[in-house]
Each structure stands twice: as C-alpha cells, then as structure tokens.
Structure 1
C-alpha cells in the first residue's frame, strides 16, 4: 500500500466547482473562494439562483460562471462536466431535507433526499476525479451535517443520507491514500445553519450548540480547504458525539435528550420559501420539500 501525502490547496488561480451554490452557504462559499482568487463554477438546479450567485461574485470583482444542473441526473452531470472542463476543487454542497417522520414522508421525497444528498456525490465526484488524478493535485469537499454523526428524530432519511455522505468521503480518502494519489478530501459536519433550511428548529443550549451563522460556516470551510484539513466539525461539541457511542445505548440516548438534540425538530416548519413556491404544507410538522438547494445543516 502506498500512502499519499496531501497538503492545503491554494485557491488563487484554481477552478472551484460548487454544487447547489445558488443560495445558502453554497453562495457564500462561492464568494469566499472568489475572494481568494479562484474561478468559481456554480451548479444549481435553479438557473435564476445560480445567475444570482454569479452576479454577486462578479460584483465583488471575482470570476464566476454557472450552469443549471440536476446533480441527480447522471446524463446531465456528464454533459455539464464536459462543458465545465477540468476543475481543481469539487465542493459537493447541494442538499435537501424532508424533516418528516418516516411514515409521514412520501416515497418520492425520501428517494429525492437520497438522490441529492448521496447519489449525486458519486456522479459529480466521478465526473472530475480522474482529471485531478491525472494532474496529481486536487480536492473533494463534501458538506455533510452534524446529523452524519448521530441520528436525529424526524430526520430519518436526512440523517441516513448524511451518514452516507460522511462514509463516502472517508472511504474515498482511504481509496486515494491506498492508491498513492495526493488528492485531498474534506468532510464538513456543521450543526444547524441559519439559512432557512431548518426553519423553526430550536436549540436547548445555544452556547454549546448554537444555530450557526452561514457566513462564518462558509469561511471556515474555505479556510479548512486551503489548510488541507480532512474534517471540519462545528461547533466543537459535536465532535465528541462519536466518542459517546462507547456508552450503553440507553445512556447515550439520555445524553442526547439532555442536550435537547431530538427535540430540536419539534417546531420545524419547513424550509423557508418552499410554501411560497407552491409546496405543500408540512404533514404533522414535517416539510414535504424536495427542491434542490445550496442549503445544508
């Protein structure tokens, strides 16, 4: 086995592809990357939103272009990748949330969650990874979630998808190491972010588990990318959740309950903007949203 060595990725002059960058932290990461001299390529299902990000980047003097892409469609991804050309960094950011109990969520919404949050990671990364390997340098970033560290009530499909996103990134890291390719991977696991994706969520101890500010999360992701980090978990308390798994399940559950983790979704009202866009009201407190977005949490 050959172990590769990876280092930070200087963004000045790099081409950075960000999926779901039409809004949320995707747009903010585009702005952060552009400020560091990167050429940004925005992929988003919403063409108008993607163009809005390009306008925001160019307004601050950066360089950006966009394509309307459904990252769950393999043929669209293949065509868009050919049009985009080689990229140095892929940031898999597109994500959706249903926020319903397992029996309340529709089959279509569950399938969409898994397609956007999991399968798109494979299609988008595969489209650009070979080029990175040929050039001998690159980075793959996956925006997962704190839900990728522990399951959360009323997020069965979302939590499962984010566990898969963490597993995807860690397995890819080992694969690249084993084959001796100096391509860095970074998995990002933030707690809830104040982008409207989880409208109404509440946190019991805001100093320990605060609702995160999107600008700060985006900044930390780009800083971690340039530093060559392989894992970013915010806030720091979330990092200790896997350690607590050594406790008996009943004790672990009581710790989560004491922190109010399973109660955060009690007042979830659905992602902001979905109902105005013609979506259906939440079923028993769960959103039926399935529109792809740059938001995550």
Structure 2
C-alpha cells in the first residue's frame, strides 16, 4: 500500500507552526503539488506560507484561516471547489488540562469530523479517487501514567478512530487509507499547560529526568517517511530519537 507524495494535494490542519509546519515542509520537499495549511493563527499562517513558497516555489503552499471546531463546512467547501485533495493531515491539537471540553473538541471531535468529511469526499465507491487520512496522535494515545489525563483521553480516541476507520474492511470499500503517527515528547508549544497544579512539581521532575526530547524536524521527516509505506489502520511511533516502530495495543 505504498504511497508517493509526488503531485499530491495535501491539507494540514494546525499547519502554521510546530509539527504541522514541519510535516508541510517535508511533504513539499518530497514533491507535493500543493500544500494547504489551515490554522487559527492568521499572522503565523501567512508567514509560514511565505517561507514555504520562498523555499519550494511560488504557489506551492496556501493558507486558509480556520478554526477546526467551527469552520469545517465553510472551509472544506472552499477547498473542494478549488482542489482535488489527496491527503488530509489531522494535526491541529491542544494540551489544556484546565479544560476537558476544549481538549475533546479540538483533539477528538474535530479530528473525527474532519476525517469523516474528507473520507466521504475521497471514497472511490462514491465517485472519489481515494486518498489518505493521516492522524497525528501521541505516545499518550497508548501509554498510561498519572499525567495529562484529558489529553490522553483525547489521543486514545484518535488511535481507536484510526484503527477502526482504517480497518482493511473499510479500505476495501472506500479506497481511503487511514493511518496515524504517535510522536514522543517533542519541543513544541503544546508542552505548556501539561499538568494539574497539584501534579506540577512531580511532572516537572519527570520532564527533567526521564524524557528524551525530539525536534519538530525529526517528527516531520518521520511522518512523511511513514506516509510512503504505512498500511491502512496502522499506528506508528517515533519517540526518544529512536527508529520508527509500530505502536503496541497498550503500554505502561
């Protein structure tokens, strides 16, 4: 089930910075036709697209301001009218242990709703030409520990969604591959707001003593590498600067 990024039109939610930006950059390096960045941060998104177009060629990257919770219908309609999309990268996410509802809305509900919108659009049995739904999950989508309870809950859902919608039964009917990557600890803005106040001191000790931090560039490259060979329904791990591996069903 190999897939070549060359000449693909790719949509990346939350693509203005961090992992989303690096994934976008890597797809363009691998020959993507058009990279559509969606993000709520307008100034950051406009600057990201300027940088990518300067690097890869004018018009290769496009920015659309988007709140993934509110703007699905409006933005997807705009995209489908202008482009033949091959890949959706569900990357937008937050880590906000102060709000369970917001965490679930962004990390889970939006991922499923955007995924299903593009899955229906791509389905070969409904006139589409197939494609890939690529979900950015987390090692916290299969590990368990006392930390980041809300975040873990949302990412467990993303892993389950990927494995279920991406089951070969659904792929055989639809022609749409569904895969995910679970990055380990990565040096991005999402690491703020990562614990409840009464956990903060102990969690900071874990971060200082037990965590091997990765760069966003490392994850971006790994994500695009995985895209080229991952079978539908599979979930992959990139953590501790180690080689890519399949995610286990559960891990302590």
Pairwise same-fold verdict (TM > 0.5): yes
Q: Is it true that 1:43 corresponds to 2:33 in the alignment? A: no
Q: Is it true that 1:66 corresponds to 2:70 in the alignment? A: no
- Indicate the structure whose relative CO is greater, using CA pairs within 8 Å and at least 6 residues apart: 1
The residue aligned with 1:4 is none
TM-score by length of 1: 0.70
2:76 to 76, 81, 84: 81
State the Cα distance separating 1:175 from its structure 2 match: 7.0
- Return 5+ residue gaps in structure 2 as ranges: 193-203
Q: Is it true that 1:115 corresponds to 2:105 in the alignment? A: yes
The residue aligned with 1:202 is 207
TM-score by length of 2: 0.82
Contact 2:13 / 2:92 at 8 angstroms: preserved in 1? yes
State the Cα distance separating 1:57 from its structure 2 match: 1.1
Q: Is it true that 1:9 corresponds to 2:3 in the alignment? A: yes
SS in 1 for 2:77: helix
Task: Measure, in 2, the Cα distance between the counterparts of 1:142 and 1:160.
Answer: 15
Task: Measure, in 1, the Cα distance between the counterparts of 2:222 and 2:238.
Answer: 9
Does the C-alpha gap of structure 1 residues 187 and 131 become closer, same or farther in structure 2, counting only changes over 3 Å? same
State the Cα distance separating 1:136 from its structure 2 match: 3.4
Matches for 1:1-297 after TM superposition, within 5 Å: 7-38=1-32, 39-62=34-57, 63-73=60-70, 76-85=71-80, 86-98=84-96, 100=97, 105=98, 109-133=99-123, 134-174=127-167, 177=170, 180-199=173-192, 202=207, 204-205=209-210, 210-229=212-231, 230-235=234-239, 242=249
| Bigger helix share | 2
State the Cα distance separating 1:214 from its structure 2 match: 0.9
Task: Measure, in 1, the Cα distance between the counterparts of 2:90 and 2:39.
Answer: 11
Contact 2:12 / 2:91 at 8 angstroms: preserved in 1? yes
Does the C-alpha gap of structure 1 residues 203 and 188 become closer, same or farther in structure 2, counting only changes over 3 Å? farther
Task: Measure, in 1, the Cα distance between the counterparts of 2:247 and 2:122.
Answer: 33
Contact 2:19 / 2:219 at 8 angstroms: preserved in 1? yes
Task: Measure, in 2, the Cα distance between the counterparts of 1:240 and 1:10.
Answer: 23
Task: Measure, in 1, the Cα distance between the counterparts of 2:172 and 2:6.
Answer: 27
Contact 1:138 / 1:183 at 8 angstroms: preserved in 2? yes
Task: Measure, in 1, the Cα distance between the counterparts of 2:52 and 2:172.
Answer: 37
- Return 5+ residue gaps in structure 1 as ranges: 1-6, 245-255, 257-297
SS in 1 for 2:92: coil
SS in 1 for 2:167: helix
Task: Measure, in 2, the Cα distance between the counterparts of 1:242 and 1:228.
Answer: 17
